[in-house]
Amino acid sequence: MRSAASRERLAALGIDVWIRRERDRASADAAAPVLETPAVEVTDSGAGGAVARVRMASGDGDWLLVQGSPWDGRHDVLLGDIQATIGSARCRFGQWAHSDSAGVPVDELDSRGVLHVLAFGDPPPGAMKQGVLVAPELSVLSTSAEARRRLWRKLAGEIAG
């Protein structure tokens, strides 16, 4: 909630409000490393190289959550937490395309309103661009508390920044 009046209104209705805890950024950063972007060569689309493409679901959020396999619902609780962190209206989903004619090229996502890409698992060659965050696969995030902590720290920095 952004204002004290909004919090008071919700309190009067008996609705609990979650307020984000702040902690010392220096100690949080020192506690665990941020997500690392794998060394993937950026392919120049003008040089005839293949540029990764994304098959996007409908939506108009500025964050694209993308993975290699279809979204199958196995990690709905985790995805719900990620959406709540980013803002559900800001999220849309996609899958890496396996065809040169399917989907939208990564270097054209900004024309579709996508400003941030959160990739679960290793992205295909030609997928890296400014604004792509690489996280472990959802199966790893769902079983590793440390991987989730690193993801939350990285997302907090991206959302606040």
pLDDT tens for residues 105-154?
888 888 899 999 999 998 887 777 656 889 999 999 999 999 999 999 98
Look at residue 48 and tell me whether its pLDDT is greater than 60: no
Domain residues of the chain, as ranges? Answer: 31-160
pTM of the model: 0.66
135 close to 79: Cβ distance less than 8 angstroms:
no
Mean pLDDT estimate for the chain: 78
Q: At what angle do helices 145-160 and 76-86 cross, to 10 degrees?
A: 20
**Which of the four pLDDT bands, split at 50, 70 and 90, describes residue 33?**
very low
Domain 31-160: which CATH number of 3.30.1370.140, 3.40.50.10220, 3.30.1330.60, 3.40.50.720: 3.40.50.10220
Cα separation of 94 and 29, whole Å?
A: 30
